[in-house]
Amino acid sequence: MGNENCAKSPFINADQAMNEIPIINLHLETNQHKEQIHPSHIILCQQLIERNDAAQKHKDAVDLHQQPEHKHTKIDPALLKKPIFAKFTVHEPQQLCTDYKRPHAALMEIVSSSIVAYVGRRFGLQYNHHCHSSMALHHEHDLEFDMTTIQQILPHATMPINERYVQLGEIVHQSCHTCIQEYNQGKHHYDTRQRTHHCLAFPIINQAHASTIRTEQFNRHDPQDSFSNSFEIPDIVMKQDIVDAKNHLVRTGLGAVLPLVKDRLNHAAVDWAPRSHVPSHDPKSGAVIYLDADTSSGVPFWVLEKLLTRKVTSVSILSGPECARDESILKSVLDPGQNQSGNNGVTCLQYALGKFIMVVHL
């Protein structure tokens, strides 16, 4: 963390956004398309499936060999030998570590790979995003502002999954198979779009919704009475949870490690706060407005005036590089009383500079 780049300002003015960011962005995209690096979760999933299959074949062969009725059955001697798995370590490529355009997609990739590596740890699988080592690459660009990404400062640690949410076997037999199949079909590639979902950590589930479900709850930690050897009758409790179209509980890989992800993000935020010039009281009374050139909808100032009350001590406007690069016109919703005839809207950058409307996700 001790390089001079850390002391640079995290703020970028309009001229820098229009003239400097697109150049860096084009450089990263060009390298990405040339190298065609497979995502880390796909590489780990392939190894996990192969090694799990080898372990399962060994177990099946040993079980068969130990059965008296199959005593004379010919079994491949190689299958009776316990497989030895060499360590297989995966790091993230430079393009993902330095990609400031898609922080969410990059984090989903890191979380997904961490989950697969944890499941495959008994098979020698290891994962470390190793993105901190790419911070020195910023010196290649003579910039006045800081280009450090969340990937580069995200702490690395083993990410054990909560098996009450997702079983280890589900990652091997369902999630990994699905991700590999979809990847081979050209779906869900890590590309130029910001993706909310990820096939492994946060898959798309049709018609997922909140609903009231019945669940059993024991009053004691151990439902079995050690004195009478009888089982306690559980209480029936109604609670809110997320279910799919068939009323089955929805559980995701991200949900199984969410406390760990939140802890790592909080650690990174606290560690980087002195370098980011966070306004005073911002964590408790600050407001954040996110501008998206592609998917945000137009919101007039008078709406935001109601939302941003006097209790708000600071307003931070965040946006991706597309806000500066996008040449398309966003349909705007002007303040009442303004002439809307012939109005074609304004660009994302124009509004970020205080033109006409606010483009924001609510």
Q: Which of 101-105, 169-173, 349-353 has the lowest mean pLDDT?
A: 349-353
Neighbour-count burial of 138, counting CB atoms closer than 10 A to its CB (0-12 exposed, 13-18 middle, 19+ buried): buried
- What digits encode the pLDDT tens for the residues 13-51? 777 777 776 554 434 444 444 445 789 999 999 999 999
- What does the mean pLDDT of the chain come to? 76
- What digits encode the pLDDT tens for the residues 174-214? 999 999 998 888 876 665 455 678 899 988 877 666 766 66
Q: Give the integer Cα–Cα distance in Å for 2 and 163.
A: 39
The whole model's pTM is what?
Answer: 0.75
More confident call, 81 vs 242: 81
Return the domain boundaries, the chain: 4-203+255-267, 209-243, 279-360
Closest by alpha carbon to 130, among 146, 108, 153?
153
Structure tokens at 264: 């790592």
Highest mean pLDDT among 191-205, 299-313, 324-338: 299-313
- What digits encode the pLDDT tens for the residues 146-175? 888 899 999 988 899 998 888 899 999 999
275 band by pLDDT with thresholds 50, 70 and 90: confident
Structure tokens at 305: 């005036």
More confident call, 217 vs 133: 133
Torsion-angle region of residue 299: left (phi > 0), alpha (psi -120 to 50) or beta?
beta
pLDDT at 362: 39
335 band by pLDDT with thresholds 50, 70 and 90: very low
Q: Give the integer Cα–Cα distance in Å for 162 and 260.
A: 10
